Amino acid sequence: MKVPQYWTPQLVAEWLGDAAVALRATRDPERRYLANVRSWWPAVQNEMGENFAMMVAASQDGTLKAVEAELNRVKLHGATPEQVDRLYVVMGWMGKIEEVGAVRLVWARACGASWRTIARFTGGTRQAAQQRYRRILERLAMRLNRREPK
């Protein structure tokens, strides 16, 4: 995994988005619990039986032949090792965000939530949420550029 020498707010936002994608693709039974605890985390199906039931429901006539065709169409894949490494790095960043409610705002945006939805939960306007998000990313990039000792 290659870590940049200099962090910009755009690069931080990109890594956050990659971490959200990796988390969605990671198969982990504990993540199902976290998905129910934190409303921003997507609910997932990590049981083969649930996936099979979904395929049967999605097929037109519910026969085994239709289910097999649906299983061949859908490709289940997990996160790559590099994506998981980035995910762990990004999760370490969350401890560096000190502002109240900032982690939720940053993670919601990384997961693809719209500014309207974020503004509704933060209790402000879209512009205020966008400004706060940019400010948080700038502070995080500054902290990452300081190269704090491990």
Whether residue 49 sits in one domain with residue 5: no
Average pLDDT over residues 113-125: 90
What integer pLDDT is reported at residue 60 of this predicted model?
54
Residues 35 and 94 occupy one common structural domain: no
Flag the least confident range among 14-18, 63-67, 106-110: 63-67
**Looking at residue 58, what is its pLDDT?**
55
Both 4 and 15 in a single domain?
yes
Number of domains within the chain: 2
Residues 18 and 32 both lie in one domain: no
Domain that holds residue 41: 27-77
34 and 5, same domain (yes or no)? no
CA geometry: angle 96, 100, 103, nearest 5 deg:
55
Q: Give residue-wise pLDDT tens across range 55-67.
A: 555 555 555 555 5
Using H for helix, E for strand and C for coil, what is the string for 3-52?
CCCCCCHHHHHHHHHHHHHHHHHCCCHHHHHHHHHCCCCCCCCCCHHHHH
**Do 150 and 122 lie in a common domain?**
yes
14-23, 45-54, 122-131, range with greatest mean pLDDT: 122-131
Same-domain pairing of 20 and 84: yes
89 in the same domain as 21? yes
Q: Tell me: do 93 and 113 sit in the same domain.
A: yes
